C-alpha cells in the first residue's frame, strides 16, 4: 500500500508562567504516570495570555492532591523527521538486462512514494550511465534533464558494477581510493559529497550474484589493499572514518535467494533456470539491518511490491530530530533556564525526562540538556530519551513531546 503519512509531527510546547499558583484540594489535582508529576488537564484560573489552552504541571509532587503547580499556555512547535539518503547499486553484468529495465522504469515511482511521506529524500544511483540495454538513464522528473543528468534529489555515479563486486565498488567509489576513481575501470564519479551526515541511510542492491566481500568486511574493514586484487579499499561503512554516518543503516535487495530459512538455496526463473548465486552475503546484511528483499527470479511482478516495500522500510526506519527548538515564552515572560522540564506524552500518560548537565552526563540513561547552558536556543534529548521519543512520536506514532517552562527543573 503506498504511503501517505506525513513526517512533520506536532509537538505541544507548554510555555508556563513563571509565577506558579497553588491548586486547592479538589480543584483538579494534577496526575501523571510519572512519579515526578506531569500534565493534569486544564486549570480553572484565567484566560491564557496568547489565546492557547491552559495546563497544569505538578512541581515536585507525585500526582497526589494539593501539589504546587504551574499554570500555563500551549504554544506550537514541530518535531521534524531527519532526511534520508537512499543508495541504489545495480549490477551491470550481461544477465541483468531485465532487472536494469525495471529499475529504469520504476525509480521515479519509487521516488514518488518517498515524496508522498514528506521526507527530505535523496536518491544516489551507482550504476553505469547510458541508454544501452545494460546501462541506466533515469528519466525525468527524478533526473535533472532528458540526458540522464543529475537533479536536486538525484545523483548518479556512473560505475560499471561487476557481478560479484558491488560492495567493493560501493566502498571504493565512496572513498575514491586507487582503482575506484572516476575514469578507472571499476570507478565512478565521487558521490560522498552527496551524503548528509544527519540523514538515515538505506542501501539497496540489485544483482543476480553474490558479493565476494563479506558482510563483516563491508562494515568493519580496516582499509588497505582489497583482499581480492591489488586495488585499495577505504574502511568499512561502520568505521570511525565516517563519523557515524552509516550507523543504523538499512540494507535491502532484490537478488537470487530462494528460501526464507536457508540462505544457500537459489531461486528459479519461470523457465527453471537459476541465477549464479543465492546471494548469502546480501541475506546476512538484510537480516542484520532489518531490511526487505525480493526474489530476482520472480521477474516483473516482483518489482512494484519491492519498490513499495523498500519505501515503507525507509519510512519506518526514518528518525526524528531530537534537537528541539525552544519557542519564545508567552508575552511578558522571560526564559528561566532553571525552570524547564521535558516530558513524553502518550494519550493520558506522561513521563518526565530528567535534566542533565551536558551530553557527557547522558551516560546510558534518560535525560535532556541545553545546546548552550548560558544562552540556550534548543533542548537536546539524550540518546536513550531520543529513542523513546522516536518510538512514541516518530513516524505513524500518535505521541508527542512537551517542553514546559516555569517549573523547577527535575534533574537526574
Query: What digits encode the pLDDT tens for the residues 203-216?
Result: 999 999 999 999 99
Mean pLDDT over 31-60 rounds to 40
- What sign has the CA pseudo-torsion 239, 241, 244, 248? negative
* Nine cell digits for residue 386: 531520543
Q: At the topology level of CATH, where does 84-317 sit?
A: Rossmann fold (3.40.50)
pTM summary value = 0.73
pLDDT of residue 398: 75
Which of 23-27, 175-179, 313-317, 366-370 shows the lowest per-residue confidence on average (mean pLDDT)?
Answer: 23-27
pLDDT of residue 363: 92
Distance CA 126, CA 191 (A): 9
Distance CA 30, CA 206 (A): 56
The residues pairing with 124 across neighbouring beta strands, listed in sequence order, are 87, 155
Domain map (residue ranges) of the chain = 9-74+327-405, 84-317
pLDDT of residue 43: 35
- The three-state DSSP-derived secondary structure of the chain is CCCCCCCCEEEEEEEECCCCEECCCCCCCCCCCCCCCCECCCCCCCCCCCCCCEEEEECCCCCCCCCEEEEEEEEEEEECECCEEEEEEECCCHHHHHHHHHHHHHHHHHHHHHHCCCCCEEEEEECCECCCCCCECCCCCCCCCCCCCCECCEEEECCCCCCCCHHHHHHHHHHCCCCCCCCCCCCCCCCHHHCCCCCEEEEEEECCCCCCCCHHHHHHCCCEECCCCCCEECCCCCCHHHCCCCCCCEEEEEECECCCCCCCCECCCCCCCCCCCCCHHHHHHHHHHCCCEEEHHHCHHHHHHHHHHHHHHHHHHCCECCEEECCCCCCCCCCCCCCEEEEEEECCEEEEECECCCHHHCCCCCCEEECCCCCCCEEEECHHHHHHHHHHHCCCCCCEEEEEECCCCCEC
SS3 of 305, please? helix
Query: What digits encode the pLDDT tens for the residues 349-407?
Result: 888 899 999 999 999 899 999 999 989 999 999 999 988 888 887 666 677 888 787 78
pLDDT of residue 318: 77
Distance CA 140, CA 7 (A): 25
Distance CA 142, CA 122 (A): 10
Mean pLDDT over 279-304 rounds to 96
Which of 20-29, 267-276, 347-356, 396-405 shows the lowest per-residue confidence on average (mean pLDDT)?
Answer: 20-29
Is the pLDDT at 167 greater than 80? The verdict is yes
Is the pLDDT at 2 greater than 50? The verdict is no
pLDDT of residue 316: 77
Task: Spell out the residues 6+ positions from residue 306 whose beta carbon is closer than 8 angstroms to its own.
Answer: 254, 292, 294
If you average pLDDT over every residue of the chain, what do you get?
A: 82
Distances (CA, A) of 347 to 32, 59, 115, 374, 381: 11, 21, 29, 34, 21
Query: What digits encode the pLDDT tens for the residues 60-101?
Result: 444 444 445 554 444 434 567 789 999 999 999 999 999 999
How much of the chain exceeds pLDDT 90, in percent?
59
Is the pLDDT at 346 greater than 90? The verdict is no
Amino acid at each position: 500500500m503506498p504511503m501517505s503519512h506525513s513526517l512533520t509531527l506536532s509537538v505541544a510546547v507548554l510555555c508556563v508562567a513563571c509565577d506558579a499558583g497553588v491548586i486547592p484540594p479538589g480543584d483538579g489535582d494534577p496526575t501523571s504516570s510519572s512519579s515526578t508529576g506531569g500534565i493534569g488537564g486544564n486549570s480553572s484560573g484565567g484566560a491564557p495570555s496568547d489565546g492557547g489552552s491552559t495546563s497544569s504541571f505538578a512541581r515536585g509532587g507525585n500526582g497526589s492532591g494539593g501539589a504546587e503547580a504551574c499554570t500555563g499556555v500551549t504554544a506550537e512547535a514541530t518535531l521534524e523527521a531527519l532526511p534520508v539518503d537512499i543508495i541504489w547499486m545495480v549490477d551491470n553484468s550481461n544477465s541483468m538486462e531485465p532487472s536494469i529495465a525495471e529499475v529504469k522504469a520504476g525509480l521515479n515511482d519509487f521516488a514518488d512514494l518517498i515524496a508522498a511521506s514528506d521526507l527530505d529524500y535523496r536518491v544516489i544511483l551507482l550504476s553505469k550511465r547510458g541508454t544501452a540495454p545494460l546501462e541506466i538513464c533515469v528519466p525525468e522528473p527524478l533526473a535533472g534533464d532528458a540526458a540522464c543528468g543529475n537533479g536536486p534529489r538525484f545523483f548518479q555515479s556512473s560505475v560499471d558494477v561487476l557481478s560479484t563486486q558491488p560492495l567493493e565498488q560501493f566502498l571504493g567509489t565512496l572513498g575514491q581510493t586507487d582503482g575506484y576513481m572516476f575514469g578507472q575501470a571499476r570507478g565512478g564519479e565521487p558521490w560522498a559529497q552527496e551524503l548528509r551526515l544527519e540523514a538515515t541511510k538505506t542501501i539497496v542492491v540489485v544483482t543476480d550474484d553474490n558479493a565476494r566481500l563479506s558482510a563483516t568486511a563491508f562494515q568493519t574493514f580496516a582499509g588497505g589493499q582489497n583482499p581480492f586484487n591489488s586495488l585499495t579499499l577505504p574502511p568499512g561503512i561502520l568505521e570511525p572514518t565516517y563519523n557515524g554516518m552509516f550507523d543504523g543503516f538499512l540494507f535491502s535487495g532484490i537478488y537470487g535467494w530462494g528460501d526464507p530459512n536457508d540462505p544457500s538455496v537459489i531461486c528459479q526463473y519461470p523457465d527453471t533456470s537459476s541465477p549464479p548465486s543465492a546471494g548469502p552475503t546480501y541475506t546476512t546484511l538484510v537480516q542484520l539491518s532489518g531490511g526487505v528483499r525480493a526474489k530476482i527470479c520472480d521477474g516483473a511482478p516482483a518489482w512494484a511490491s519491492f519498490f513499495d516495500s523498500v519505501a515503507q522500510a525507509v519510512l519506518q526506519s526514518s528518525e526524528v530530530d531530537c534537537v528541539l527548538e525552544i519557542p519564545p515564552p508567552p508575552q511578558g515572560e522571560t526564559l528561566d533556564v532553571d525552570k524547564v522540564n521535558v516530558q513524553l506524552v502518550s494519550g493520558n500518560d506522561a513521563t518526565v525526562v530528567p535534566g542533565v548537565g551536558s551530553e557527557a552526563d547522558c551516560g546510558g540513561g534518560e535525560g535532556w540538556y541545553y545546546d548552550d547552558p548560558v544562552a540556550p536556543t534548543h533542548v537536546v534529548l539524550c540518546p536513550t530519551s531520543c529513542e523513546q521519543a522516536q518510538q512514541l512520536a516518530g513516524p505513524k506514532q500518535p505521541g508527542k513531546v512537551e517542553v514546559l517552562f516555569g517549573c523547577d527543573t527535575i534533574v537526574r
